Structure 1
Amino acid sequence: MEKLTSGIFFGQTDQTIDLDEFIITNTEYTHEFVDWHYHENAYFTFLIAGKVSEINKNDHHKCGPGTLLFHNCQEPHYNVKPKGYTRGMHLELSEKWLLQFAGKNMAKGSFEIINPLVKSLFHQILLCTKNCDNTSMLTLHSLVLNAADQLSNRSNIKRYKNPPKWVAKLIQLLHDSPQLSHSLESLSTAIGIHPVHLSRYFPKYFGCNLGAYIKRMRLCLAAAELNAEKKSVTQIAYECGFYDQTHLIRCFKEEFQFTPRRYQRYLK
């Protein structure tokens, strides 16, 4: 079985950024099939465009634009890609950093991350890789550290290893219907807790208030749709739960400092 060393991925890598304990690579995937292999370093994969499937001994991940996966080091897997343009960004973490800062609490295995607070960081990291001057490198390093710090918990729910059952129910409910307008009362009824309890404890497990979580979830979904380039900004706005195109543009610029159209042009 082939072992891939630091900074090496199958395909055509056109950018590599070395940040001491971290390596960022931007790669176009050119292989329709990659046989079983593993990587020297633990790493994140953030799919930018196209589709690819990753299969390991426990899971089968079907990835589209905006999918974020984490892979522990030495984790065997293989990949299948349909014909067409596919690109991804990788963030590798050195063994030294993992041992020093993640330690025994580091997430195990290979799995998908859906937390929009984490995914938003990767959209911002991607934008920073397109403008690598001295100032942006400091910002990039800070974003990378913030993203890597999420490994303390597999579910990415702040520090709590055994959250109550309503947390998982709420995650599924929100991500299954990101375009719906939820009320505190309707969500509380659906997951079986009191609205006051939900309002009070949501930040404890999610790291922000309910409104901020839903907003970032919708923005990450919109960014992924923009990368796919198959829909108009107006259509994306409605499908992702924004009032209209103007609402999406305003929120998108607040989060990423780019309008949706400029975001598309910048990443090409």
Structure 2
Amino acid sequence: MERSERGFFYGDTTEIIRMDGITLTDTAYTLDRVGWHFHKDDYFTFLLEGGVVEGNKKEVYECVAGDLLFHNWQDAHYNIASGRPTRGFHVELQDGWYERLDVPADLTEGSIRVFSPMIKKMMYNIVREAKLAGTGGQLGVDALLVRILGILGKVRAERDGVRPAWVGRVREILRDEVSFAWTLAGMARELNIHPVHLSREFSKHFHTNLGDYLRMVKVQRAMALLTERGRSLTDIALECGFADQSHFIRSFKGYQGVTPAEYRRLLRRGRC
């Protein structure tokens, strides 16, 4: 089985940034299929554009722009192209990075599809840090990665325990029906639980309140759509459940620190 060396991904890498213990790459995937392989280091794959099917020994994921995967270096996987231009941002973590920051290297195992909007927000900020600061962004990237791995460790512990059935269901509802005008009472009826219970227990499982979680999901859906050429801000705002374009711009900037137009320009850095 083939092992991919550090900094190498199957496509045209338009940017590579090497930090102390971290390698960041921005790659446009060009192959129709990549057979079973594994990598030298643990790493994250963050899809900025397009989509890809990825399989490992346990699961097969159909990923789209905005999806985030974590891979343990020992975990073999394969990839199948979606038939449309696809671009991935990768963060590889060397053993020395874990040691330098005293982060346990066994917080995560195997391949994980990360759903948490909080973690995705932090990964977007890593992309931003890399694009704006390059190798000078080490401090910010280190801090974000430590937080991400800490949350992933908690998520794994919760997954290994007993979790209410409504937790998975509410995540699916808010992901698949993000444009619907949900109310607390309506969501509670859909989940067959009491509104007070939902409001009180939500933050225990999602590490934020229901309103902030929904706003993060909306903005992150918009981030994925912003990579599609020709999509207007008005169309994206309506598709993601914002009242109008001005509301979309305010929410986006409040969440990400830049306007949608500025984010589009940021993603063009490193693109062919």
The two structures have a TM-score, normalised by structure 1, of: 0.89
Structure 2 residues without counterparts, runs of 5 or longer: none
Which amino acid in the other structure matches residue 263 of structure 2?
Y
Q: Is the 8 A contact 2:20 2:138 kept in 1?
A: no
Provide the residue aligned with 2:79 in structure 1.
79
Residue 143 in structure 1 maps to residue 144 in structure 2: yes
Q: What SS class does the counterpart of residue 101 from structure 1 fall into?
A: coil
Which amino acid in the other structure matches residue 163 of structure 1?
R
Change (3 A) 1:163 1:84: closer
**Alignment: residue pair count:** 266
Q: Is the 8 A contact 1:108 1:154 kept in 2?
A: no
Once the two structures are superposed, residues 124-171 of structure 1 have per-residue CA deviations (whole angstroms, 9 ceiling, x without a partner) of 2111111116864432332222223232045696x9843222211211
Provide the residue aligned with 2:236 in structure 1.
236
CA distance in 2, matches of 1:21, 1:149: 18
Which amino acid in the other structure matches residue 232 of structure 1?
S
Change (3 A) 1:166 1:84: closer
Residue 249 in structure 1 maps to residue 256 in structure 2: no
In percent, how many aligned pairs have the same letter?
37
Once the two structures are superposed, residues 205-262 of structure 1 have per-residue CA deviations (whole angstroms, 9 ceiling, x without a partner) of 1111100000001100000000123521111101111111100101111111211112
Q: Is the 8 A contact 1:115 1:156 kept in 2?
A: no
The two structures have a TM-score, normalised by structure 2, of: 0.88
Change (3 A) 1:252 1:224: same
* Superposed counterparts of 1:1-268, under 5 Å: 1-95=1-95, 101-102=103-104, 106-132=107-133, 136-154=137-155, 161-268=161-268
CA RMSD of aligned residues (A): 2.4
Change (3 A) 1:201 1:154: closer
Which amino acid in the other structure matches residue 101 of structure 1?
V
Which amino acid in the other structure matches residue 140 of structure 1?
V
CA distance in 1, matches of 2:93, 2:147: 12
Q: What SS class does the counterpart of residue 16 from structure 2 fall into?
A: strand
CA distance in 2, matches of 1:156, 1:150: 10
Which amino acid in the other structure matches residue 216 of structure 1?
M
CA distance in 1, matches of 2:51, 2:69: 13
Larger CA deviation: 233-242 vs 91-100: 91-100
